[in-house]
Chains A and B, each alone.
Chain A
Amino acid sequence: MTMEKQRTPKNIFVQGAISPEKIAKSIANHQSKTDIGGHSIFLGQVRKDQKDNGTVVAIEYTAYEEMALQKAFEIREAIFAKYPLNCMHIYHSLGRVDAGQICLFVFTSSKHRRAAMDACDELVERIKAELPVWGKELLDSEEHVWKVNQ
Chain B
Amino acid sequence: MKNKIRIRTFGMIAEEIGQSKLTLDQIATTENLKDYLFAQFPKLQSMKFSIAVNQKLVQGDEQIPEGAEVALLPPFSGG
Contact between chains at A134 and B79 (CB < 8 Å): no
Size of interface on B: residues with Cβ below 8 Å to A: 14
From DSSP, what is the main secondary structure of chain B's interface residues?
Answer: loop
Contact across chains for B76 and A146 when beta carbons are under 8 A apart = no
Q: Across the interface, do B71 and A133 meet the contact criterion of CB distance under 8 Å? A: no
Interface size on A, residues (CB 8 A): 26
Instruction: List chain A positions with a Cβ less than 8 A from chain B.
Output: 44, 61-64, 66-67, 70, 92, 103-104, 124, 127-136, 146-149
A sample of 23 cross-chain residue pairs with beta-carbon separation below 8 angstroms, ordered by A number, consists of: A61-B78, A62-B10, A62-B11, A63-B10, A63-B78, A64-B10, A64-B71, A66-B55, A67-B55, A70-B55, A92-B79, A103-B79, A130-B76, A132-B10, A132-B71, A132-B73, A134-B74, A134-B77, A136-B11, A146-B74, A148-B75, A148-B77, A149-B75
Q: Which 5 A-B pairs have the closest CB atoms?
A: A133-B78, A134-B11, A147-B77, A128-B79, A67-B55
